[in-house]
Amino acid sequence: MFADLYDFDKTIFNGESGTAFLTYCMMHHPTMLKYLPEQLYWTAKHYVLHSITMEQLKEHLYSCVREIDTERLIEDFWDENAHKINNFFINRDRNVPCIVCSASPYWQIAPICKKLGADIIIGTGISPADGKITGMNCSGAQKLEFIKEYAPDYKIRDAYTDNIKSDAPLLSLATRNKFKVTNGILEKI
């Protein structure tokens, strides 16, 4: 059976959902601003100094979720941010199953993906209780392993991503079309 495969951030969602969600949390729970200096420090360690892994960065960034009711807040977040879902995804061919595979936390993207009719949702296992990663980060070549595990019966028809370099493994699965998404605009590659 064929399915279409989508990355989430900057592909389905016009932006980085993690940054948007953590910003939303701080805006609605100002006490969480105390984490901002630490988050900026760890972000610099990853992106500027290259001294920590993306997994370590994610755990530091999401450690603040221990202070909030993530389940309730993520629903509120999507109520306010659903308008940032790109139209090509909303208007996709609903006769073809849809797989969303993202490095974002599963619990962060699952509510909106379910609401939009995604058949299979794959994301990084990050505990909504304390921000700890509970498995492998769902990015790069690891996405292939997750797709084999969670969608073994599907062949990929079309694949969509914003980053053709980091999602080259994801794109390699497409048997028909590959699309690069920039600000909601599709470009066939």
Strands (E), the chain: 2-6, 98-105, 120-124, 155-161, 177-182, 185-188
Q: What is the mean pLDDT of residues 71-75?
A: 92
99, 140: one domain: yes
Pair 54, 125 in one domain: no
Given a contact cutoff of 8 angstroms between Cβ atoms, the answer to whether 3 and 98 are in contact is yes
Domain shared by 75 and 98, yes or no = no
Which pTM value belongs to this model?
A: 0.93
Same domain, 165 and 98: yes
Q: What is the domain range of residue 72?
A: 18-79
User: pLDDT tens across 77-116, in order?
Assistant: 999 999 999 999 999 999 999 999 999 999 999 999 999 9
Q: Are residues 95 and 165 in the same domain?
A: yes
In the prediction, which pLDDT does 96 show? 96
- Per residue in 136-170, pLDDT (tens digit) is 899 989 999 999 999 999 999 999 999 999 999 99
pLDDT tens, position by position, 4-42: 999 999 999 999 999 999 999 999 988 889 999 999 999
Q: 3-state DSSP call for residue 144?
A: helix
- Provide the 3-class DSSP secondary structure of residue 155: strand
Please state, for a pLDDT cut of 90, what percent of the chain lies above it.
87
Regarding whether 89 and 74 lie in a shared domain, the answer is: no
Is the confidence at residue 67, as pLDDT, over 90? Answer: no
Q: How far apart are CA 2 and CA 101, in angstroms?
A: 16
pLDDT of residue 111: 97
- On whether both 52 and 22 belong to a single domain, the answer is yes
Same domain, yes or no, for 49 and 117?
no
Picking from 79, 96, 111, the residue at the C-terminal end of a domain is 79
